[in-house]
């Protein structure tokens, strides 16, 4: 069986992208073949993180996402899976359709709470704090045309103490993301590969 090919889209520090690359290093199941980022290197740590692991991050522009250039890049990379790891731009309909059932996103709250347009990064953790929520967490879900509305694949939660500041909430959520995101991707790919081989028997 050929290895499944994963493409990752990121917008920031790239800590989740790094965890995914490390997880699939030496894996017989899948490998990360392409990483794209919509911010220049001076504004995003993902470039340095992937370079240290032997993979250059490709800079992409918002208009390239809209005009289909990024979709062409993904096809050229022969990506089987697309993983959004802190990627802040809306995915165009054509791309969602092209990777139906193989494009996933991670969100730093327990969706449907604290999701939707403008809810990303510290905005989410500040909103959790402002709401006086007693727990937060992260959600891995399928990507649809709307922000944060795809079916939930996996959630993990953490307690929020009354004296936790947004930065502390962010830290707790990031730990959950790093613990579970790559593992969940791995399980999804295993499941899909098993289904495919069943169909071919």
Active site residues: 107
Question: What is the C-alpha to C-alpha distance for residues 55 and 122, in angstroms, rounded to an integer?
Answer: 28
Taking CB atoms within 8 Å and a gap of at least 24, the contacts of 156-160 are 156/180, 157/110, 159/134, 159/135, 160/128, 160/129, 160/133, 160/134, 160/135, 160/136
With H, G, I as helix, E, B as strand and everything else as coil, classify residue 185.
helix
Longest dimension (CA), the chain: 57
Question: What is the C-alpha to C-alpha distance for residues 140 and 111, in angstroms, rounded to an integer?
Answer: 9
Check the CA dihedral 35-40-44-50 and report its sign.
positive
70 close to 95: Cβ distance less than 8 angstroms = yes
């Amino acid at each position: 069986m050929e290895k499944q090919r994963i493409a990752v889209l990121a917008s920031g520090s790239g800590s989740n992208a790094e965890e995914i690359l490390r997880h699939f290093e030496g894996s017989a199941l899948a490998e990360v073949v392409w990483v794209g980022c919509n911010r220049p290197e001076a504004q995003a740590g993902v470039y340095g993180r992937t370079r240290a692991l032997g993979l250059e991050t490709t800079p992409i522009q918002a208009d390239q996402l809209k005009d289909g250039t990024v979709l062409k890049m993904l096809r050229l990379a022969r990506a089987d899976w697309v993983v959004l790891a802190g990627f802040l731009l809306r995915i165009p309909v054509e791309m969602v359709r092209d990777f139906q059932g193989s494009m996933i996103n991670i969100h730093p709250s327990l969706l449907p709470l604290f999701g939707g347009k403008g809810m990303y990064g510290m905005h989410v953790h500040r909103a959790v704090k402002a709401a006086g929520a007693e727990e937060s967490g992260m959600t891995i879900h399928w990507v649809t045309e709307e922000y944060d509305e795809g079916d939930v694949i996996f959630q993990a939660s953490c307690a929020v103490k009354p004296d936790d500041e947004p930065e502390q909430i962010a830290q707790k959520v990031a730990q959950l993301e790093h613990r579970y995101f790559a593992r969940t991707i791995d399980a999804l790919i295993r499941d899909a590969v098993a289904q495919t081989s069943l169909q071919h028997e």
